[in-house]
Chain A
Amino acid sequence: MSALAGNSRTADISALARLLSGLHLDGLLLMGIAVTMSIGTLAVYSAVGQNDALVMNQLTRMAAALVAMLIMAQLDPAWLRRLSPWVYMAGLALLGLVLVSGDVGGGAQRWLDLGVRFQPSEIMKLGVPLMVAWVLHDRPLPPSFLMIVTCLALIMIPVALIALQPDLGTAIMITASGGAAIFLAGIGVRYLIGAGASALVALPALWYFVMHDYQKRRVLTLFDPDSDPLGAGYHIIQSKIAIGSGGLFGKGWLNGTQGQLEFLPERSTDFIFAVIGEEFGLLGALTVLLVYLAIVGRGLYIAATAQETFGRLLAGSISLTFFFYVFVNTGMVTGLLPVVGVPLPLISMGGTSMVTLLAGFGILMSIQTHRKLLAR
Chain B
Amino acid sequence: MATSLQIKDHWAEQRLFTRRVIVAGLLVFALSGIVVARLAQLQIAEYDYFSAQSQGNRIRVQPAPPTRGLIFDRNGQVLAENIPTYQLELTPEQVPDLDATLEQLAAADLIAADDVPELKSLISSHRRFDSVAIRQRLDDETVARFAVDRPRFPGVEIRARLTRAYPLGKAIAHAVGYVGGISVADRQALDSRDYAGTALVGKVGVERGYEDALHGNVGHADVLVNARGRMIEVLDRDAPEPGNDLILTLDAETQLTAWEAMAGRRGAVVAIDPRNGEVLVLVSTPAYDPNGISAGLTRKDFRTLQEDPDRPLFNRAVRGAYPPGSTIKPVLGLAGLDYDFLNPEERHYCGGFYRLPGKSHRYRDWKPAGHGPMDLHNAIAQSCDVYFYALATEMGIERMAMFLRRFGLGADTGVDIPGEKPGLVPDPGWKRAAFSRREDQVWFPGETVIAGIGQGYMLTTPMQLAHLSATIAARGKRFQPTLLKGFRDPETNSTRLLEPESLPTVEIKEDLDWDRIISAMNAVLQGERGTARSVGMDAPFTMAGKSGTAQVFTVAQDEEYDADEVAERMRDHALFIAFAPLENPSIAVAVVIENGESGSRAAAPVARAVMENYLEKVL
B567 within 8 A of A: no
Q: How far is the CA of A230 from the CA of B129 in the complex (A)?
A: 12
**Which of A183, A230, A334 is B24 in contact with, Cβ under 8 Å?**
A183
Indicate the member of B6, B8, B25, B49 with the most A CB atoms within 10 Å: B25
**Which of B38, B43, B128, B222 is A246 in contact with, Cβ under 8 Å?**
B43
Q: Is the CB of B40 within 8 A of A282?
A: yes
B42 within 8 A of A: yes
User: Closest Cβ of chain A: how far from B392's Cβ, in Å?
Assistant: 50
Query: Which parts of A318-358 form the interface with B (CB within 8 Å)?
Result: 320, 323, 327, 330-331, 334-336
Q: How many residues of B contact A (CB 8 A)?
A: 48
Q: How far is the CA of A365 from the CA of B63 in the complex (A)?
A: 52
Q: Is the CB of B44 within 8 A of A330?
A: no
**Which of B28, B38, B50 is A245 in contact with, Cβ under 8 Å?**
B50
Chain A residues within an 8 Å CB radius of B497? none
Q: Is the CB of B43 within 8 A of A282?
A: yes
Given the known interface contacts A277-B39, A296-B28, the answer about A304 and B21 at a Cβ–Cβ threshold of 8 Å is yes
The residue in chain A whose Cβ has the minimal distance to the Cβ of B63 is A230
**Which of A231, A245, A303 is B193 in contact with, Cβ under 8 Å?**
A231
**Which of A228, A304, A323 is B17 in contact with, Cβ under 8 Å?**
A304
Binds A, one of B29-37, B338-346, B542-550: B29-37
User: Closest Cβ of chain A: how far from B325's Cβ, in Å?
Assistant: 48
Chain A residues within an 8 Å CB radius of B300? none
B121 within 8 A of A: no
Q: Is the CB of A245 within 8 A of B53?
A: yes
**Which of B34, B61, B93 is A230 in contact with, Cβ under 8 Å?**
B61
Q: How far is the CA of A142 from the CA of B6 in the complex (A)?
A: 11
B47 within 8 A of A: yes
Q: Is the CB of A244 within 8 A of B32?
A: no
B20 within 8 A of A: yes
**Which of B18, B32, B39, B60 is A282 in contact with, Cβ under 8 Å?**
B39
The residue in chain A whose Cβ has the minimal distance to the Cβ of B42 is A244
**Which of B31, B51, B220, B222 is A247 in contact with, Cβ under 8 Å?**
B51
Q: Is the CB of A293 within 8 A of B42?
A: no
Q: How far is the CA of A285 from the CA of B44 in the complex (A)?
A: 13
Digitize A288-327: 1 where CB-to-B-CB distance is under 8 Å, 0 elsewhere: 0100010011001001100001001000100010010001
Q: How far is the CA of A261 from the CA of B56 in the complex (A)?
A: 12
Q: How far is the CA of A335 from the CA of B43 in the complex (A)?
A: 13
User: Closest Cβ of chain B: how far from A277's Cβ, in Å?
Assistant: 7
Q: Is the CB of A327 within 8 A of B31?
A: yes
Q: How far is the CA of A231 from the CA of B35 in the complex (A)?
A: 25
B13 within 8 A of A: yes
Query: Which parts of A119-176 form the interface with B (CB within 8 Å)?
Result: 138-142
Chain B residues within an 8 Å CB radius of A316? 17, 20-21, 24
B58 within 8 A of A: yes
A224 within 8 A of B: no
Digitize A234-277: 1 where CB-to-B-CB distance is under 8 Å, 0 elsewhere: 10010011111111100000000110011100000000000001
A115 within 8 A of B: no
Chain B residues within an 8 Å CB radius of A138? 8
Indicate the member of A185, A230, A277 with the most B CB atoms within 10 Å: A230
User: Closest Cβ of chain A: how far from B54's Cβ, in Å?
Assistant: 4
Label chain A's interface by main secondary structure: helix
Q: Is the CB of B193 within 8 A of A327?
A: no
**Which of A140, A293, A304, A331 is B7 in contact with, Cβ under 8 Å?**
A140
Q: How far is the CA of A234 from the CA of B7 in the complex (A)?
A: 57
The residue in chain A whose Cβ has the minimal distance to the Cβ of B93 is A262
Q: Is the CB of B13 within 8 A of A141?
A: yes
A59 within 8 A of B: no
Chain B residues within an 8 Å CB radius of A247? 43-44, 47, 51
Q: Is the CB of B227 within 8 A of A257?
A: yes
A281 within 8 A of B: yes
Chain B residues within an 8 Å CB radius of A312? 17
Q: How far is the CA of A77 from the CA of B301 in the complex (A)?
A: 69
Q: How far is the CA of A303 from the CA of B13 in the complex (A)?
A: 13
**Which of B38, B44, B227 is A261 in contact with, Cβ under 8 Å?**
B227
B218 within 8 A of A: yes
A186 within 8 A of B: yes
Q: How far is the CA of A234 from the CA of B44 in the complex (A)?
A: 22
The residue in chain A whose Cβ has the minimal distance to the Cβ of B225 is A261
Q: Is the CB of B24 within 8 A of A336?
A: no
User: Closest Cβ of chain B: how far from A242's Cβ, in Å?
Assistant: 7
Chain A residues within an 8 Å CB radius of B35? 289, 327, 330-331, 334, 336
Given the known interface contacts A180-B24, A230-B218, A286-B39, the answer about A244 and B13 at a Cβ–Cβ threshold of 8 Å is no
A184 within 8 A of B: yes
Q: Is the CB of A257 within 8 A of B58?
A: yes
User: Closest Cβ of chain B: how far from A278's Cβ, in Å?
Assistant: 8
Q: How far is the CA of A15 from the CA of B53 in the complex (A)?
A: 54
Q: Is the CB of B24 within 8 A of A327?
A: no
Digitize B1-22: 1 where CB-to-A-CB distance is under 8 Å, 0 elsewhere: 0000011110001001110110
A196 within 8 A of B: no
The residue in chain A whose Cβ has the minimal distance to the Cβ of B60 is A263
Chain B residues within an 8 Å CB radius of A285? 39, 43
Q: Is the CB of B54 within 8 A of A242?
A: yes
The residue in chain B whose Cβ has the minimal distance to the Cβ of A247 is B47
Q: How far is the CA of A231 from the CA of B93 in the complex (A)?
A: 19
Chain A residues within an 8 Å CB radius of B227? 257, 261
Chain B residues within an 8 Å CB radius of A183? 20, 24
Q: How far is the CA of A139 from the CA of B227 in the complex (A)?
A: 63
Q: Is the CB of A228 within 8 A of B18?
A: no
B192 within 8 A of A: yes
Query: Which parts of A158-214 form the interface with B (CB within 8 Å)?
Result: 180, 183-186
Q: How far is the CA of A183 from the CA of B29 in the complex (A)?
A: 17
B55 within 8 A of A: yes
Q: How far is the CA of A130 from the CA of B46 in the complex (A)?
A: 44
Chain A residues within an 8 Å CB radius of B44? 247-248, 282
Question: What are the 4 closest A-B residue pairs judged by CB atoms, nearest first?
Answer: A244-B50, A245-B54, A244-B42, A231-B193
25 sampled A-B residue pairs with Cβ under 8 A: A138-B8, A140-B8, A140-B13, A229-B61, A230-B196, A230-B218, A237-B61, A240-B42, A241-B53, A243-B39, A243-B50, A244-B54, A247-B44, A257-B54, A261-B227, A262-B128, A277-B42, A282-B39, A282-B43, A285-B43, A289-B36, A296-B28, A300-B28, A334-B35, A334-B39
Starting from the known contacts A142-B16, A323-B28, A331-B34, 6 additional A-B residue pairs (CB-CB under 8 Å) come to A186-B13, A230-B218, A243-B50, A245-B55, A261-B229, A289-B32
